[in-house]
Structure 1
Amino acid sequence: MSRQVFQLKVSLVGVRPPVWRRVLVPGGYTLDRLHRVVQHAMGWRDCRLHAFEIEGRQYGEPDPDGGLDIRDELDVRLDAVVGKGSRLRYTYDFGDWWEHDLVVEDVCTADPDERYPACLDGARACPPEGVGGPTGYAVLLATLADPEHPERRAMREWAGGGYDPARFDAARATTLLRRFC
């Protein structure tokens, strides 16, 4: 029996320059595991709420009060809800409201000599947690790019001294995916 692998392009919506990742994910992963793939591939810290939207239906952690109609992501496999060409939306941090567009670029048979998940490619570092969504991220980028900006030093320290918005390492992302997903 062959295992399916989904090639997904994950793009952060509303930011320029684009922040994106291309990942290979087993089709048998639940949406909960896909959530962890997005977290580690993008560089988030998984400290905020999240939800998926697929064809108008919400998936995530069920509302214990029953007030929201959210299907349990632990009960739903990726290969049961999407196929090649499908699009889904992943929202992370309902305060900053980071939307991610996920496109199923391809579905293929798993290579028995490869390990999954894997990050094939990507561009740019993930925005820092709590920066204020796409608008706050744009302010951060403008501040860091201006050597004369009075808040540049404080913003650099807040973002982490080594934060480089242009940096992304697919091999490091793959290591994280294999360790935590």
Structure 2
Amino acid sequence: MHTSIVGAAPPIWRRLELPSGMVLSEVNATLLAAYEWSGDRQHVFTTPYGLVADLDAGLPAADERTVTLAEALSRRTFQYRYDLGDAWDVLVRLEKTHHPDPTQAYPRCTDGARAAPPEHILGGIHGYSSVLSVLGHPNHPDHAQLTEFLDEDFDPELFALSEVDAALRD
């Protein structure tokens, strides 16, 4: 499946292979690992069956432990929102199905592009766009404020496939 952060320009995406029988609570853990987010914030899936979430979040939604990936992808796409305030939206799209390779461990990441935005950036993808606009300009008046949550060596173009793939199985 192909996952991409909605509104990211240039695109930030991951290609993931997951068993179709995974429940959405497991898909949540996979997406958190793929985008290097902590899981400290609430999330919700918007699927053909309506909203699906962790019941502990107290949202009017179906239990994510009871809906499978195959069910959520019955119309080939669904949306995942991480952080209901800042709204990191991820579009999940089925690209193709295949039989599992017994020599591979799943879930796995097979491709992707660009570093995931740090989840602590205010304003979701719009806030991240502001960060990117000042990142290479240390004399910009908003540089210190907008980049305060970035590691010194943060590179928005870096995608480390082997690290992301390993994180999916940790």
**TM-score normalised to structure 1 length:** 0.86
Map 1:27-176 → 2, pairs under 5 A:
27-55=20-48, 57-62=50-55, 68-83=59-74, 86-131=76-121, 132-153=123-144, 155-176=146-167
Letter in 2 for 1:134: I
1:157–1:64: structure 2 CA closer, same or farther, 3 Å change rule?
closer
Instruction: Indicate the SS of the match to 1:158.
Output: coil
Using the aligned pairs only, state the percent identity.
34
Q: How many residues align?
A: 169
> Offset of 1:64 from its aligned partner?
6.9
Kept in 2, the 8 Å contact 1:89–1:102? The answer is yes
- Stretches of structure 2 that go unaligned for 5 or more consecutive residues are none
> Offset of 1:174 from its aligned partner?
0.8
Q: Structure 1 CA distance, aligned partners of 2:51 and 2:71?
A: 15
1:136–1:29: structure 2 CA closer, same or farther, 3 Å change rule?
same
* Higher strand residue share: 1
Kept in 2, the 8 Å contact 1:91–1:97? The answer is yes
Letter in 1 for 2:104: E
**TM-score normalised to structure 2 length:** 0.91
> Offset of 1:42 from its aligned partner?
1.4
Which residue is equivalent to 1:3?
A: none
Return the index of the structure with the highest Cα Rg: 1
Kept in 2, the 8 Å contact 1:156–1:163? The answer is no
Q: Structure 1 CA distance, aligned partners of 2:57 and 2:104?
A: 39
Kept in 1, the 8 Å contact 2:118–2:149? The answer is no
Kept in 2, the 8 Å contact 1:19–1:124? The answer is yes
Q: Structure 2 CA distance, aligned partners of 1:91 and 1:29?
A: 18
1:153–1:87: structure 2 CA closer, same or farther, 3 Å change rule?
same
Instruction: Indicate the SS of the match to 1:111.
Output: coil
Letter in 2 for 1:32: S
Kindly report the root-mean-square deviation, in angstroms, between the aligned alpha carbons of the 2 structures: 1.8
Letter in 1 for 2:100: A
Instruction: Indicate the SS of the match to 1:23.
Output: strand
Instruction: Indicate the SS of the match to 1:107.
Output: coil
Q: Structure 2 CA distance, aligned partners of 1:140 and 1:81?
A: 33
